[in-house]
Amino acid sequence: DGGITQSPKYLFRKEGQNVTLSCEQNLNHDAMYWYRQDPGQGLRLIYYSQIVNDFQKGDIAEGYSVSREKKESFPLTVTSAQKNPTAFYLCASSEGAGALKTQYFGPGTRLLVL
């Protein structure tokens, strides 16, 4: 089956700890995105990548880092600098960049702080 997978489904972070969320796609899409969703809110863009080895900051990049070494993978690291990391994190991909390109979303990772 083609699609986007995210792991883990739930992730717990201790104070001062960095954690990495995985996102993999086998849709052969060039563009990939990370969003954060807080309860009752819409999605906010953290980082996006239009092509391998290139990525750009979104609206709320502070406290997060990403890499795009392979086309199919776009991991997100939540660093200790992110003071309020508890949220639902969604990864998406599209054939190319642009609001006209349908974005396909993964199932999400819920991050909780211990």
Q: Where do contacts with another protein occur on this chain (CB under 8 A)? A: 4, 31, 33, 35, 40-45, 48, 50, 56, 58, 88, 90-92, 94, 96-108, 110
In this structure, what token pair is assigned to residue 5? 């997978």
Pairing of strands 87-94, 104-105: antiparallel
Pairing of strands 64-66, 10-13: unpaired
Measured from the CB atom, is 18 or 96 closer to another protein? 96
Measured from the CB atom, is 13 or 101 closer to another protein? 101
Distance CA 85, CA 81 (A): 9
Min. distance of Cβ 113 from another protein in angstroms?
Answer: 18
Min. distance of Cβ 63 from another protein in angstroms?
Answer: 19
Measured from the CB atom, is 105 or 113 closer to another protein? 105
Min. distance of Cβ 15 from another protein in angstroms?
Answer: 25
Distance CA 40, CA 114 (A): 22
Distance CA 53, CA 70 (A): 8
